[in-house]
A and B are shown apart, each in its own frame.
Chain A
Amino acid sequence: MEHYNMNLNLKVWRQQNKNTKGTFKMYRVENISSEMSFLEMFDVLNEQLIKDGENPVAFDHDCREGICGSCSMYINGKPHGPWQANTTCQLHMRAFKDGDTIVVEPWRADAFPVIKDLMVDRSAFDRIIQAGGYISVNTGNAVDGNTLPIEKQKADDAFAAAMCIGCGACVAACKNSSAMLFLSAKVSHLALLPQGAPERTTRVQNMVAQMDKEGFGSCTNTGACEATCPKEISITNIARLNSEYIAASFAD
């Protein structure tokens, strides 16, 4: 892999807190290596800002290996930037070239208010899980794991849905700020497994009700969520969610 250095212009959203209005500010960073990650480039910017006596840009990040779901930058009009199936922390600077201007914004959704700069409040996702995203089994109740064989295909499908990292890119990508991909991933994960069966009806109803209460929009099947999802969660999960929801309404 050839390495190169580049100079970049950054147009970054700055917002003091949730009560103040934000604005874009321009910054320049120089000698950025193509081997750096996008967040490491932001580290360089922040070190520079601190030395210049300015406030660094606040952003969420933690594991920096694409699994914790903290990082959340809207880069050049795409959540997590230009690469497919990728998180911001795993985006590397070889995706850009010398002289580029990169626009960086926070997730934009009513249900995700900005805390500061590029940091948003995604606690609505936790409350959706609280509404029913679990199997009610207290510690100590379990029987031997192998007494319950699960068809490999079903187990694999449940795993594919359970891979969701709760980053919220699906919401940020959706023109309606819908949380249907996130919600459907959890409903599918638990509905595909026999352990999830007893609470199947109430789970989907309660979780959908909570999603609506949080102010997420409706799904209009544009597929933007699936296209941007770092874990490639499929919109077939949304179809499953819809059929679970309809079945639940008949069960009432």
Chain B
Amino acid sequence: MLNSKIPAGNLEKKWEEYKGHCKLVNPANKRKLEVIVVGTGLAGASAAASLGELGYKVKAFCFQDSPRRAHSIAAQGGINAAKNYQNDGDSVFRLFYDTIKGGDYRAREANVHRLAEVSVNIIDQCVAQGVPFAREYGGLLSNRSFGGTQVQRTFYAAGQTGQQLLIGAYQALERQVALGNVKMYSRHEMLEVVKIDGKARGIIARDLVSGNLEKHFGHAVLLCTGGYGNVFYLSTNAMGSNVTAAWKAHRQGALFSNPCFTQIHPTCIPVSGDHQSKLTLMSESLRNDGRIWVPKKLNETRKAVDIPEEERDYYLERRYPAFGNLVPRDVASRAAKERCDAGYGVGTSKQAVYLDYAAAILRYGKIEAGKQGLENVSQEQIIAMGKEVVKEKYGNLFDMYAKITGEDPYEVPMRIYPAVHYTMGGLWVDYELQTTVPGLYALGEANFSEHGANRLGASALMQGLADGYFVIPYTIGNYLADEIYSKGVDTNHPAFEEAEKAVRERIEKLMSIKGTQTVESFHKRLGKIIWDKCGMARNAEGLKQAIAEVQALKKEFWSDVRIPGEINEMNPELDKANRVADFIELGELMCIDALNRNESCGGHFREEYQTEDGEALRDDENFMYVASWEFKGEHNWELHKEELKYEVIKPSQRNYK
């Protein structure tokens, strides 16, 4: 059933071969072909802009009030590219290799190699758009290192790389809007995929201001709707990030792959209380210079600054001397959890570790004194100069930490703890980014394809833009070339009428429940079940319990949720209820997937499967496949396996020691 359509030939030639032979659509025909793009983050905005430039008629949708607010904007640290500007041994092959290894050998070789190939074009494109990347004094682009690699290949714009890249894509998108090639629908949410004769032919969207349902036709539909991390309730995702578009596609026949592969990011600000609505990430780039530690003594009560050097356990440097504080995210997160579970956690909750900048401040201060030719400088002066350097590199992150916690990270170590951040799983797509529904595509975080069981830092931005700028403009032509004979479908077609009716009935049903519990309270309960039993560590027994609990929660939700207000008005509670209802269904599938995967790999850590020193223990013989689930009805899914074949890389146990 699953044909990944990977082109034949040598790995490094596949994409070139594909581009050389895929079908093309001539400009006159492009004008007649309509494409719907849902979501305007990096993948969606770049796809909508690029397709508009090519001459397709594009309609783009986002639920936010402006496409510029999509959650890609919050990405902090950077974007990888195999430019090798630093002359430190980087290459397309290394980026490819690091990504496959970082993903714990659960990603497709061909897709990842293509990603590494086009990574260099992304940087060029963004520079041409005026994205203000950080630069050196010579005027050339600056790089920094990120987790899971030993080269400096990350391009950045202070701690706001996602913002700057998204604004670049957003401006390209708005240019196409001005030229009339793209029509933008803000404050609109996609609530159904419309299929005619098995092909995706449009969507049902809800205007969130008026509450009206709208029918939109497209020769193809692109879902660029991001990840599903908010299934955990508390995550670093934006409040509105949701799985709804992807889930509707899933229920319409698109397979959902590896839903249990979720990324828990090691450096987030710890939870402070029950009222907490979301978690805030502190960029991984902080692990470049910060040192992570906990006290060596149990029940330590001294303040961090009063604990002498020899009584500190720099556990990442101890366990992984080769990569130290820059091990991949899954490894760093589990190591933090291990120390906290063993009782060495810090702060009031004891669910935190220190991220300490004192050493970096001293080191930078000394370098600065050397640069300025100063001798006999006092310790205070060195520290002051060091703080200035740190401020330039990470100032906005330190400010953010200070605002949230009320503590000054220049003076005391930050407290951090892992939090849900990204989801590697998503809609199954082939090499062309097409789902199992013809004409329906998934780009960026919404698909499953490039990051395997764990994503490396600074690779999400790379993938979103690769898919939107450089992959879909080619692959969609290969599909649309055969669609030039199909005229646009009138949205009075019975398929549109039926889809709209189903959406209306579901909304009416939700509103008619008039129960006693708020949407928010259900979402919190769902999040707790998934975090406790399908979070950083999972086991079969817990997962079985979780499945039963989520099923019961679903029943309760559909009989006791209370949604205030009316259907035909701006009603954020109704919007949220629609999303939470889908998260509940997804939650069940995540647990089923985690239970099915009797191994540990990347972010999926099954307690039953670990090495003697607590590392993830893969089972390549039985689980080297993409677990792709077909929706069969209420609580019922069928598993399809796409075997992963490694022709170039030889899988081994990941070793960061």
Q: Chain A residues in contact with chain B, CB under 8 A?
A: 1, 16-17, 33, 35-37, 39-40, 43-44, 47, 49-51, 53-56, 58, 60-70, 83, 85-86, 90, 92, 94, 115-116, 119, 121-123, 125-126, 129-131, 133-146, 148-152, 155-156, 158-159, 162-163, 165-166, 189-190, 193, 195-196
Q: Mark B140-172, 1 if CB is under 8 A from A, else 0.
A: 110000000000000001101011100100111
Question: Which residue of chain B has the shortest Cβ distance to A167 in the bound complex?
Answer: B69
Partner of B73, one of A63, A122, A141: A63
A22 to chain B, nearest CB (A): 14
Q: Is B400 an interface residue (CB 8 A)?
A: yes
The distance in angstroms between the C-alpha atoms of A69 and B170, with both chains bound, is 14
Check A129–B570 contact: CB distance below 8 A: no
Q: Is B112 an interface residue (CB 8 A)?
A: no
Check B74–A166 contact: CB distance below 8 A: no
Q: With A119-B570, A158-B132 in contact, is A63–B238 under 8 Å at CB?
A: yes
Partner of B74, one of A37, A68, A137, A142: A68
Q: Would you mind naming 18 contact pairs between A and B with Cβ atoms under 8 Å apart?
A: A51-B518, A65-B278, A66-B400, A69-B69, A121-B65, A126-B66, A129-B174, A135-B130, A138-B53, A145-B127, A146-B140, A155-B132, A155-B134, A158-B130, A158-B132, A166-B66, A193-B132, A195-B129
Q: Is B379 an interface residue (CB 8 A)?
A: no
Q: Which residues of A have CB within 8 Å of B562?
A: 50
Question: Which residue of chain B has the shortest Cβ distance to A18 in the bound complex?
Answer: B209
Check A62–B239 contact: CB distance below 8 A: yes
The distance in angstroms between the C-alpha atoms of A85 and B178, with both chains bound, is 32
What are the 8 closest A-B residue pairs judged by CB atoms, nearest first?
Answer: A149-B139, A134-B171, A142-B128, A142-B124, A1-B406, A159-B132, A145-B127, A130-B178
Chain B interface size band reads 35 or more
Q: With A55-B565, A62-B239 in contact, is A126–B174 under 8 Å at CB?
A: yes
Check B518–A155 contact: CB distance below 8 A: no
The distance in angstroms between the C-alpha atoms of A141 and B132, with both chains bound, is 18
Q: Is B306 an interface residue (CB 8 A)?
A: no
Check A67–B174 contact: CB distance below 8 A: no
The distance in angstroms between the C-alpha atoms of A94 and B407, with both chains bound, is 12
Q: Which of B236, B239, B400, B569 has the most CB of A within 10 A?
A: B239
Q: Is B455 an interface residue (CB 8 A)?
A: no
Q: Is B258 an interface residue (CB 8 A)?
A: no
Check B140–A149 contact: CB distance below 8 A: yes
Check B209–A115 contact: CB distance below 8 A: yes
15 more A-B residue pairs beyond the given contacts A165-B163, A195-B130, with a C-beta to C-beta distance below 8 A: A39-B277, A43-B275, A62-B64, A62-B239, A65-B278, A83-B403, A92-B403, A115-B570, A137-B129, A139-B473, A140-B121, A142-B127, A144-B124, A145-B127, A149-B140
Question: Which residue of chain A has the shortest Cβ distance to B184 in the bound complex?
Answer: A126
Check A36–B564 contact: CB distance below 8 A: no
Q: Which residues of A have CB within 8 Å of B140?
A: 146, 149
Chain B 179-238 residues near chain A, CB threshold 8 A: 184, 186, 209, 236, 238
Q: Is B244 an interface residue (CB 8 A)?
A: no
Q: Mark B388-426, 1 if CB is under 8 A from A, else 0.
A: 000000000001100111110000000000000000000
Q: Is B280 an interface residue (CB 8 A)?
A: yes
Q: Which residues of A have CB within 8 Å of B569?
A: 16-17, 116
A121 to chain B, nearest CB (A): 7
Check B124–A145 contact: CB distance below 8 A: yes
Q: Is B646 an interface residue (CB 8 A)?
A: no
Q: Is B363 an interface residue (CB 8 A)?
A: no
Question: Which residue of chain A has the shortest Cβ distance to B163 in the bound complex?
Answer: A67
Q: Is B87 an interface residue (CB 8 A)?
A: no
Check A53–B564 contact: CB distance below 8 A: yes
Q: Is B135 an interface residue (CB 8 A)?
A: yes
Q: Is B137 an interface residue (CB 8 A)?
A: yes
Partner of A58, one of B121, B236, B275, B570: B570
A16 to chain B, nearest CB (A): 8
Check A86–B403 contact: CB distance below 8 A: yes
Check A151–B139 contact: CB distance below 8 A: yes
Q: Is B68 an interface residue (CB 8 A)?
A: yes
Q: Mark B259-291, 1 if CB is under 8 A from A, else 0.
A: 000000000000011011110110000000000
Check B178–A131 contact: CB distance below 8 A: yes
The distance in angstroms between the C-alpha atoms of A39 and B239, with both chains bound, is 11
B464 to chain A, nearest CB (A): 14
Check B172–A134 contact: CB distance below 8 A: yes
Q: With A64-B238, A119-B570, A152-B135 in contact, is A139–B65 under 8 Å at CB?
A: no
The distance in angstroms between the C-alpha atoms of A126 and B186, with both chains bound, is 10
A214 to chain B, nearest CB (A): 14
Check A68–B130 contact: CB distance below 8 A: no
Q: Which residues of B have CB within 8 Å of A158?
A: 130, 132
Q: Which residues of B have CB within 8 Å of A189?
A: 130, 132
Q: Is B50 an interface residue (CB 8 A)?
A: yes
Q: Is B373 an interface residue (CB 8 A)?
A: no
Q: Is B631 an interface residue (CB 8 A)?
A: no
Q: Which residues of A have CB within 8 Å of B276?
A: 40
Q: Is B136 an interface residue (CB 8 A)?
A: yes
Q: Is B85 an interface residue (CB 8 A)?
A: yes
The distance in angstroms between the C-alpha atoms of A230 and B544, with both chains bound, is 47
Check B240–A159 contact: CB distance below 8 A: no
Q: Which residues of B have CB within 8 Å of A149?
A: 135, 138-140
The distance in angstroms between the C-alpha atoms of A133 and B73, with both chains bound, is 18
B264 to chain A, nearest CB (A): 18
Check A50–B171 contact: CB distance below 8 A: no
Check B53–A64 contact: CB distance below 8 A: no
Q: Mark B112-128, 1 if CB is under 8 A from A, else 0.
A: 00000000010111111
Q: Which residues of A have CB within 8 Å of B133?
A: 145, 155
The distance in angstroms between the C-alpha atoms of A44 and B128, with both chains bound, is 46
Q: With A50-B518, A162-B132 in contact, is A17–B164 under 8 Å at CB?
A: no
B189 to chain A, nearest CB (A): 13
Check B406–A94 contact: CB distance below 8 A: yes
